């Protein structure tokens, strides 16, 4: 089901309907400041299971918590002053920050790592939906391979590799209607505009030094 929206003036009724669907375990596709994402509610175990099945990824660095503010990070992650200042400088924007999780978070998200990626998109659609539902959204990048479209994608053969390869541009979507072919997506929030086929930069902040996991739209080093 496609819901057409105006990003700068989204109908509150659409947002409320989308939030209720997420709470019931639905998956929703939406545009971000990078490419299209597919999201579920952080508080829906059924939604998280469906999202992980759809992704097919074992490496949990492919999954990201979309937040509307840094204050939501501290609900699931350890965040000291040094990391806060870096994130505050780069957010909102096309950066994913991998942080150590608080005890119990890995059980909620059904993850094996004691770390999770978080980011604040610089685009009103995910921000407004997060504000409506009242908590972060668990997300993956929407890829044509999920719709059964044969696109070449190089993935790491081992889970412990340091870097993640870039997502080929041809495996990303431009328009909302293209995502109708992905089985399991219950709603598409579509602005009717083509989105750039780009991906986010992933920075691992778990150690003493910042590690670049994937170079994307966000410049790193940023100076």
CATH number at residue 162: 3.90.870.10
Structural domain contains residue 222: no
Structure tokens at 68: 């509307």
Alpha carbon of 48 to those of 27, 82, 140, 195: distances in Å?
9, 31, 11, 25
Structural domain contains residue 223: no
Instruction: Return phi, psi of residue 29, to 5°.
Output: -95, 140
Q: Mean pLDDT across the chain, nearest whole number? A: 89
Alpha carbon of 58 to those of 52, 120, 196: distances in Å?
9, 23, 26
Q: Using CA atoms, how far apart are residues 204 and 113, in angstroms rounded to an integer? A: 13
CA-closest candidate to residue 182, choices 8, 18, 50, 12: 50
Q: What is the 3-state secondary structure (H, E, C) of 42-87?
A: CCCHHHHHHHHHHHCCCCHHHCEEECCCHHHHHHCECCCHHHHHHH
Number of independent structural domains in the chain: 1
Structural domain contains residue 14: yes
Structural domain contains residue 185: yes
Q: Which domain holds residue 162?
A: 2-214
Q: What is the pLDDT of residue 59?
A: 65
- Give SS3 for 187: strand
State what percent of residues in the chain have pLDDT above 70. 91
Are the beta carbons of 93 and 122 closer than 8 angstroms? yes
Q: What is the pLDDT of residue 162?
A: 64
Structural domain contains residue 119: yes
- Whether the per-residue pLDDT at 13 is higher than 80: the answer is yes
Structural domain contains residue 145: yes
pLDDT tens per residue, range 166-194: 677 888 999 999 999 999 999 999 999 88
Structural domain contains residue 221: no
pLDDT tens per residue, range 189-204: 999 988 889 999 999 9
pTM, two decimal places: 0.89
């Amino acid at each position: 089901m496609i819901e057409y929206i105006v990003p700068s003036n989204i109908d509150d009724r659409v947002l409320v309907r989308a939030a209720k669907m997420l709470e019931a375990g639905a998956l929703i596709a939406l545009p971000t400041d990078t490419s299209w994402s597919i999201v579920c509610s952080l508080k829906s175990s059924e939604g998280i299971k469906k999202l992980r099945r759809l992704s097919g990824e074992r490496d949990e660095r492919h999954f990201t918590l979309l937040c509307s503010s840094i204050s939501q990070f501290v609900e699931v992650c350890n965040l000291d002053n040094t990391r806060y200042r870096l994130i505050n400088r780069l957010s909102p924007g096309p950066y994913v920050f991998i942080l150590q999780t608080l005890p119990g978070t890995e059980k909620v998200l059904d993850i094996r790592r004691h770390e999770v990626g978080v980011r604040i998109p610089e685009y009103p659609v995910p921000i407004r939906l997060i504000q409506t539902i009242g908590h972060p959204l668990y997300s993956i990048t929407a890829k044509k391979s999920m719709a059964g479209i044969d696109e070449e994608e190089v993935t790491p053969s081992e889970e412990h590799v340091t870097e993640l390869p870039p997502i080929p541009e041809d495996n990303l979507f431009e328009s909302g209607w293209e995502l109708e072919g992905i089985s399991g997506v219950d709603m598409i929030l579509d602005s009717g505009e083509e989105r750039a086929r780009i991906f986010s930069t992933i920075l691992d902040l778990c150690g003493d030094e910042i590690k670049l996991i994937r170079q994307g739209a966000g410049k790193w080093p940023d100076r």
